[in-house]
Homo-oligomer: A and B are copies of this chain.
Amino acid sequence: MIILTDEPLDAAAVTDSVRRDGNGAVVTFLGTTRDNFGGKTVTRLEYEAYDAMAVKKLQEVRDSLCRDYGIADVAIAHRTGRVDVGHISLIVAVASPHRREAFEACHEAVNRIKTIVPIWKKEWFADGSRWVACEDHEFADEAEHTHAHAERHAAPVGDD
């Protein structure tokens, strides 16, 4: 199951899609909009995707995990558009006979998704917004820009 949608995500449905009688372990990751970033209050996130390529890359992530971890049951769902605080933007569910592969593959899935899938995240604060992970793309005079930006040191890569 690969889902890319601007509708709310259903964690139970994604998790249930990987359950099989031959699996003893199911690990599900939910990425949710956190209410703060770098000490500032986040009011919402907005995700923008290059849809056709994103779906293809999500499938590639799933296929590469199945190959690398010797597993068969991986489901990924990503939401686009506005995602309010506390709501789910990403679900990864992995099931396998034993728990170690399920934990490791699920964690690695999230890492790969955030590295290769063309989906961009914009954080909205009370006083402005910023595209996440675009720090390298800021110009030296960016502080004068109309949008407020989180400070560099407060923007680790792969933050959620």
Contacts and interface: CB of A to CB of B under 8 A. Distances in A.
Interface of A: 11-12, 15, 19-36, 85-86, 97-100, 102-103, 106-107, 110, 158-160
B32 A19 contact: yes
A70 B31 CA distance: 19
A137 B156 CA distance: 51
A interface, by DSSP: helix, strand, loop or mixed?
A: mixed
B86 A24 contact: no
Contact of A98 (B11, B25, B159): B159
A30 B25 contact: yes
Contacts of A160: 24-25, 97-99
Nearest to A111: B99
Contacts of A34: 21-24, 97
A110 B27 CA distance: 11
A31 B25 contact: yes
B19 A25 contact: no
B29 A15 contact: no
B31 A29 contact: no
Contacts of A159: 24, 98
Given A25-B32, A25-B160, A97-B160, 12 more contacts: A12-B12, A15-B30, A19-B32, A21-B86, A22-B36, A25-B29, A27-B28, A27-B106, A28-B30, A29-B103, A98-B159, A99-B107
